[in-house]
Copies of this chain bind each other. A is one copy, B any other.
Amino acid sequence: EDDVAVARRSLEKGTPIVHEARTFLLRDDIPAGHKLAVRDHRVGEPLRKYGQIIGFATADIAQGDWVHTHNLGFGKGEGSGETALQLPLEFCTEVPTVDYVGEAERRSFRGYRRADGRVGTRNYVAIISTVNCSASTVRAIADHFRGEALHDFPEVDGVIPLIHKSGCGQHLGGEDYKQLQRTLAGFANHPNVGGCLLVGLGCEVNQPDALVQNTGLVPAGQIAIGHVEPPPIFVIQETGGVRKTTQAGVEATLKLLRRANQARRTDCPVSELIVGTNCGGSDGNSGITANPALGLAGDMFVRQGAGWVLAETTETYGAEHLLTRRAVTREVAEKLVALMRWWEWYTGVWGATIDANPTPGNKKGGITTIYEKSLGAVAKAGSTPLVEVYPYAARITKKGLTFMDTPGYDPVSVTGLVAGGCNLIAFTTGRGSCLGFKPTPVLKIASNTALYERMQEDMDINAGAILDGVPMEDVAREIFEALIAVASGKKTKSELQGLGEEEFAPWTLGPVM
């Protein structure tokens, strides 16, 4: 049914293409991952890929033409008066039944069971800055525990500085303030965090006391039986400056390390995993290899009773009709639709449009329109029912497939997912993302073999094998097994390189005042 095919490797003009038992010749050079037309189209006509409309011809297109931004757009073409697709929305019309695995097939992993019942896949101590003005102090505390300094704490994965650019010059009690507090609290009480401390300057808008009070913050790793304890707080202006606060912070961290080091991995059911998904630097292959393979792995996790989280609202835009049909209630579906309207407003404030996406890298990789990108991106969701839609950085309390509202931008999106409690991240890429993230490990899945080979030290899985004939289900199974191994402690490529501290990037709404 599709009007385009994707070139697995770059093809020269004149190459014969066999389609529906007939042969035609390429009229253009086609870069790898890019689209070619398998039939003629007049300007204004819709073109389909994945069985769905991905855009409209902005010029006449002949069979064998390269199809990209020069002849395909997201609107109905010049003069049509319509600038975007009108999607027919259906609510809860195709809600699948989850075929949960039986007792015998239930899988387990080795995790850190926390006092609040949740399970960690890692065991970090976190030093959290409430405001950029305490960031250098937080880094100095964390830097004290590099390398040999952790020798006596073999059960601890590291001391991480959670540093950002916000926390003051923001509206006290406003959306930006609430979102930052929710984000920081999500890290402070994350099951992968065995202990944390907060460091503030003193005069910031985002006061550490208020953060603890507003979010009911009790670190997951610091809950004693029948006794909850907020994290230790250090305020530079009260402690007498950077050096004294660093010294006090180092001593407090040592105490946290001693306690965190008592944690032990035990057998835990895979249903305790909440896997956040993301894609970054997508190419034309992402939607046919890495993303659907990851979606299939997601179905396996959901059948185990685990959580599977789709995010990146900007890359779901134009494909929401696929998810609303699978929503368990009309309320859940309408939350998703409301997000799309909010995003149209938010991007419109600056005269931008939500479909400014795809990025230059996506376009180089062969993705032409936001609809094409979104249709490929939602393949990560697999095929199970959509059970809930969450705001950015909100605690994910439901298992099964859920959605979190985040930008598509990788570090900001993953920060929201981890704040929500994801204890694993599965990340697909076509151009080559190098994202790591602490305290949650990130498994990286290449959409094509060339990328996998070029960036071997950064890629964990090669979904490009699907283009060479490996069944998609085999790659899905490989991802499923790899994620369980990582959950039990096996290091990912980005962990082996020590990445994942700079990527902490809370979503700043503004205004910055």
Contacts and interface: CB of A to CB of B under 8 A. Distances in A.
Interface size class of A (residues with CB under 8 A): 35 or more
B350 A171 contact: yes
A36 B513 CA distance: 29
Q: How often does this chain occur in the complex, in copies?
A: 2
A321 B176 CA distance: 31
Contacts of A242: 434, 457-458, 497, 499
A175 B502 CA distance: 25
A79 interface: no
A511 B169 contact: no
B497 A458 contact: no
A147 interface: no
B456 A241 contact: yes
Interface in A493-509: 497, 499-503, 505, 507-509
A435 B133 contact: yes
Interface stretch (A99-107, A254-262, A357-365): A357-365
Q: Which of A163, A237, A497 has the most CB of B within 10 A?
A: A237
Interface stretch (A27-35, A53-61, A198-206): A198-206
Contacts of A499: 136, 242
A165 B432 contact: no
A134 B411 CA distance: 11
A436 B364 CA distance: 40
A139 interface: yes
A280 B133 contact: yes
Given A201-B433, A281-B203, A411-B133, A171 B509 contact: no
Nearest to A363: B203
Interface stretch (A68-76, A225-233, A402-410, A468-476): A402-410
B352 A171 contact: yes
Contact of A505 (B165, B240, B281, B456): B165
Given A350-B171, A354-B513, A201 B434 contact: yes
A497 to B, nearest CB: 6
Contacts of A170: 409
Nearest to A497: B242
A455 interface: yes
A510 interface: yes
B361 A203 contact: yes
Contacts of A349: 349, 510-511
Interface of A: 132-137, 139, 163-165, 168-172, 174-176, 201-205, 207, 236-237, 240-244, 280-281, 314, 346-347, 349-352, 354, 356-357, 359-362, 364-365, 407-412, 431-436, 454-458, 497, 499-503, 505, 507-513
Q: 3 closest Cβ contacts across the A-B interface?
A: A203-B361, A169-B409, A135-B502
Given A202-B281, A241-B457, A350-B511, 14 more contacts: A136-B501, A137-B434, A163-B502, A169-B357, A169-B407, A169-B410, A172-B359, A176-B350, A203-B360, A243-B457, A314-B513, A349-B511, A407-B511, A409-B513
